[in-house]
């Protein structure tokens, strides 16, 4: 796949299927779940039956045998109508299941992946802490070996998919010792839901993503088997950084969907809404504003297609993923703001998709690496320190 090729029939069929599902199943209930702050279990179950949670995983682990670009296409279509549903899929696959697939041993994969890939279970990605966000190397959570068990103490925050009725595990980063040069040795450990000493805090009262599940987590002498170490001891931080590189492409795809969804809603409204005897779209100030929205959505799509193509080809993609995330998240935020303005008073009503996008989109510039972190990564790739 290159950014100039038409999508293959398989990709195009997937995109069409998810688009139809998003419009006919997700969109009609999005406002209700947002207003009620309820997790859309019935929607997530249908997504599992469709195989969306298993798109990039091999069939032997319950997946669909696809790739990360297929996941990105699905996220773009879902992002057009409901960011909460889209981020549940993105986090469930990219942050929840992918660490198990990338770094787990065969037993761990066969134990955890099938339910995650089939959407029967969700997993969280326990990286961020009260004192360690962008600087994830400042991790304070600890894990020490006591015989054949890890004893974990610490706290995580802003963890997506961590407290649902179908959450099966959280993979956490923890300090498991020190390196030869005195730095923290950070490893990743799988903590199953229900583990004694592992507590899921009250759900956050958020500005947006109200139907997405997000909680703080605490660990007080939480014990898990020694075999729950995920990947090589001391490689947890590096492994999670690689997961975030991939995840930035997924977030860029979701953001592109938001940007395009705002275009679609604005085109529809501008053709229907009358002002001074004619549709508001006949006024150049409105049509040009929507044209610029389309420009941003197209540019965002081109950026994430390029990053995904490089990743699938086995080429370095860290810089391109960072570029895609910045371009797409800013496009989502800008388009949501303009779409709300075009809708006037209706754009401030939560029943309208553009109002929800306006509230939801800011986090796209923060989650999975802030814009500032992306700029730092891009600058480093250009040779700056």
**Residues that are catalytic:** 368
Give the closest residue to 226 by CA, choosing from 146, 143, 149, 172.
149
The strand pairing partners of 155, in sequence order, are 218
* Cα atoms found within 13 Å of the Cα of residue 270, Cβ hemisphere only: 23
Gap between the Cα atoms of 223 and 169, Å rounded: 14
Q: How many residues does the chain have?
A: 385
Token pair listed for 164: 């649902």
Do 219 and 200 meet the contact criterion of CB atoms below 8 Å apart?
no
Gap between the Cα atoms of 242 and 317, Å rounded: 11
Q: Kindly list the distances between the CA atom of residue 39 and the CA atoms of 29, 44, 160, in Å, as whole numbers in the listed order.
A: 11, 9, 12
Complete DSSP assignment for 305-352: HHHHHHHHTT---HHHHHHHHHHHHHHHHHHHHHHHHHHGGGGGSTTS
Displacement of CA 177 from its chain's centroid (Å)? 30
User: Would the CA dihedral through 50, 368, 199, 233 be positive or negative?
Assistant: positive
């Amino acid at each position: 796949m290159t950014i100039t090729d038409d999508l293959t029939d398989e990709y195009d069929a997937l995109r069409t299927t998810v688009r139809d599902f998003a419009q006919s199943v997700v969109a009609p209930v999005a406002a209700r779940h947002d207003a009620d702050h309820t997790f859309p279990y019935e929607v997530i179950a249908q997504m599992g039956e469709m195989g969306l949670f298993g798109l990039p995983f091999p069939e032997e682990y319950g997946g669909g045998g696809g790739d990360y670009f297929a996941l990105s296409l699905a996220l773009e279509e879902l992002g057009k109508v409901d960011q909460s549903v889209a981020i549940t899929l993105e986090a469930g696959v990219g942050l929840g299941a992918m660490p198990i697939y990338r770094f787990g041993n065969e037993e761990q994969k066969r134990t955890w992946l099938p339910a995650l890939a089939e959407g029967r279970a969700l997993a969280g990605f326990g990286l961020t802490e009260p004192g360690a966000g962008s600087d994830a190397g400042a991790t304070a959570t600890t894990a020490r070996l006591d015989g054949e068990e890890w004893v974990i103490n610490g706290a995580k925050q802003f963890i997506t998919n961590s407290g649902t009725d179908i959450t099966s595990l959280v993979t956490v980063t923890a300090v498991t010792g020190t390196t030869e040069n005195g730095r923290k040795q950070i490893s990743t450990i799988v903590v199953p839901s229900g583990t004694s000493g592992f507590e899921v805090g009250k759900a956050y009262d958020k500005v947006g993503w109200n139907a997405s599940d997000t909680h703080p987590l605490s660990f007080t002498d939480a014990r898990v088997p020694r075999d729950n170490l995920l990947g090589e001891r001391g490689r947890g931080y590096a492994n999670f950084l690689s997961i975030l590189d991939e995840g930035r492409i997924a977030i860029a795809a979701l953001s592109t969907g938001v940007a395009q969804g705002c275009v679609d809603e604005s085109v529809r409204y501008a053709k229907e809404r009358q002002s001074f005897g004619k549709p508001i779209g006949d006024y150049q100030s409105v049509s040009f504003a929507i044209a610029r929205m389309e420009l941003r959505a197209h540019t965002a799509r081109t950026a994430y297609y390029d990053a995904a193509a490089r990743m699938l080809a086995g080429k370095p993609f860290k810089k391109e993923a960072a570029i895609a995330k910045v371009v797409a998240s800013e496009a989502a935020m800008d388009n949501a703001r303009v779409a709300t303005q075009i809708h006037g008073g209706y754009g401030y009503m939560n029943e309208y998709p553009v109002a929800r996008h306006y509230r939801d989109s800011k986090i796209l510039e923060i989650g999975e690496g802030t814009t500032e972190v992306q700029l730092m990564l891009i600058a480093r790739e250009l040779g700056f320190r």
